[in-house]
Amino acid sequence: MNVVMIGAGYVGLVSGACFAEFGARVTCVDKQTERVDALRQGRIPIYEPGLEDLVARNAAAGRLSFSTDLGTAVANADLVFIAVGTPTRRGDGHADLKYVYAAAEEIAANLVGYTVIVDKSTVPVGTAREVQRVLQKTNPDADFDVASNPEFLREGSAIGDFMRPDRVVLGVESERAEALLRELYRPLNLIEAPILVTDLESAELIKYAANAFLATKISFINEMSQLCEKTGADVNAVAKGMGMDKRIGNKFLHAGPGYGGSCFPKDTLALNRIAQEHGVSSRIVEAVVEVNASQKARMVAKIREALGGSEADKRIAVLGLTFKPETDDMRDAPALAILPALVDRGAEIAAHDPQGMAEARPLLPEGIQYCDSITEAVTDADAVVLMTEWNQYRGLDLQALAKAMRGDVFVDLRNVYERPLMQQAGLRYTSVGR
């Protein structure tokens, strides 16, 4: 089975390599020549655990190749996946679909034989039908079907999420398209991964609704954390107690500096725009977005308070910059809102991150020091702020850290540590919701 994956980003590259692992012959097409050249030399342009080996193994087996020539690849394809970026459009929060439609037009001009064109990117409800129209208009004689196959990959665990999905969602309009997609996903039968077959619109909305609901859980617990701080409750205990109810589940109830990444911020905004466009309310998701923005602002106030009311002329060591661990992705990371606010008030920042500093540097204000080691960052610091819960920060030698610091403030934005441990090291500890 010949598969073309258009867009060799976080989603396209992982999906393409995993389909090759399933035995399909995959061509990943990307318009960035330097990205294709790097991939041909086995260099992976993004950090995703396990991806380098997966790509190398399948490229060596001749099942995975890279190209900038979309036309030739499409002409030989049974399935063509669109996994190009669908970033938030400047200003209005819509998902920017210009890359999706550009890809659709290019696909249409090169179709040979029956082909299924599949939306893998997160796209607004109705996009698959629109892609169908674009294909029809561009190439009326083409024999094709359109399908929606949204991705539920978390960065840092994307390969595992692909290989052991909770479900595969297929939005299809014909038996032929369904049969071809079932054939592609057949290896998942071994682990009996449920395949949900539905219509195009439902498949597209499942993706937005799932992401928006996960974001809702996070904003909910972040809002609860404020009440915990006022009442003396412990948000971790509250989350644990809630999560023991199977109907609630214990995942995505960690209070923190707010959610970031390339999906939740973009997908919640897009969902609100879709609702608005169709004249229906989305007050819950509107509130989720607002709570998330204010949570980041609350973190700045928390740090300021921990420093005795002002961060001016204070040296703050920030551990972690990426939006979550095990990624180099800085898209909408809370650090991008929190650090500039501290610098504006005269703080001096010494930052460390295992993977994200190269990505972060152009996105953050001048003057921030990027340290190659945790020790370098915390030396002479008045405060340490744990921003992202990388494993490297979970087992810090707090005695040594306290000795290297100039001050004694530790602000734990991910609730990794416990207060007694900090007190033993002579550190004044604040966290979120405890």
Residue 214 found at the interface with ligand UDX (CB under 6 A): yes
Active site residues: 263
Residue 7 found at the interface with ligand UDX (CB under 6 A): yes
Residue 256 found at the interface with ligand UDX (CB under 6 A): yes
Round to whole Å and give the CA distance between 303 and 431.
Answer: 10
Q: Which of 85, 171, 320, 356 binds ligand UDX (CB under 6 A)?
A: 85
Q: Which is nearer to ligand UDX, 206 or 349 (CB)?
A: 206
Closest CA to 87 of 211, 215, 209, 261: 261
Q: Which is nearer to ligand UDX, 85 or 407 (CB)?
A: 85
Q: How far is the CA of 281 from the CAs of 274, 294, 307, 328, in angstroms?
A: 10, 21, 42, 35
Residue 108 found at the interface with ligand UDX (CB under 6 A): no
Q: Which is nearer to ligand UDX, 58 or 295 (CB)?
A: 295
Residue 86 found at the interface with ligand UDX (CB under 6 A): yes
Residue 315 found at the interface with ligand UDX (CB under 6 A): no
In the complex, minimum distance from the CB of residue 96 to ligand UDX, in angstroms, rounded to a whole number: 10
Q: Which of 48, 145, 155, 382 binds ligand UDX (CB under 6 A)?
A: 155
Q: Which stretch binds ligand UDX (CB under 6 A): 194-202, 258-266, 308-316, 364-372?
A: 258-266
In the complex, minimum distance from the CB of residue 399 to ligand UDX, in angstroms, rounded to a whole number: 28
Residue 354 found at the interface with ligand UDX (CB under 6 A): no
In the complex, minimum distance from the CB of residue 264 to ligand UDX, in angstroms, rounded to a whole number: 5
| Residues between 8 and 27 with contacts to ligand UDX, criterion CB under 6 A | 8-12
Q: Which of 1, 38, 75, 102 binds ligand UDX (CB under 6 A)?
A: 102
In the complex, minimum distance from the CB of residue 138 to ligand UDX, in angstroms, rounded to a whole number: 16
Round to whole Å and give the CA distance between 39 and 98.
Answer: 25
In the complex, minimum distance from the CB of residue 70 to ligand UDX, in angstroms, rounded to a whole number: 8
Partners of 117 in beta bridges? 80, 146
In the complex, minimum distance from the CB of residue 29 to ligand UDX, in angstroms, rounded to a whole number: 6
Neighbours of 312 (CB within 10 A): 12
| Total site size for ligand UDX, rule CB under 6 A | 40
Q: Which of 22, 25, 26, 30 binds ligand UDX (CB under 6 A)?
A: 30
Closest CA to 131 of 113, 154, 149, 152: 149
Q: Which is nearer to ligand UDX, 3 or 402 (CB)?
A: 3
Residue 185 found at the interface with ligand UDX (CB under 6 A): no
Closest CA to 92 of 121, 124, 118: 124
Neighbours of 371 (CB within 10 A): 18
In the complex, minimum distance from the CB of residue 12 to ligand UDX, in angstroms, rounded to a whole number: 6
Residue 253 found at the interface with ligand UDX (CB under 6 A): yes
Residues 318-347: x where in contact with ligand UDX by CB under 6 A, - otherwise, as a string: -----xx-----------------------
Q: Which stretch binds ligand UDX (CB under 6 A): 81-89, 173-181, 194-202, 308-316?
A: 81-89
Residues 113-142: x where in contact with ligand UDX by CB under 6 A, - otherwise, as a string: --------xx--------------------
In the complex, minimum distance from the CB of residue 387 to ligand UDX, in angstroms, rounded to a whole number: 10
Residue 262 found at the interface with ligand UDX (CB under 6 A): yes
Q: Which of 264, 390, 393, 429 binds ligand UDX (CB under 6 A)?
A: 264
The site for ligand UDX (CB under 6 A) is made up of: 6-12, 30-32, 35, 83-86, 99, 102-103, 121-122, 151-155, 211, 214, 218, 252-254, 256, 259-264, 323-324
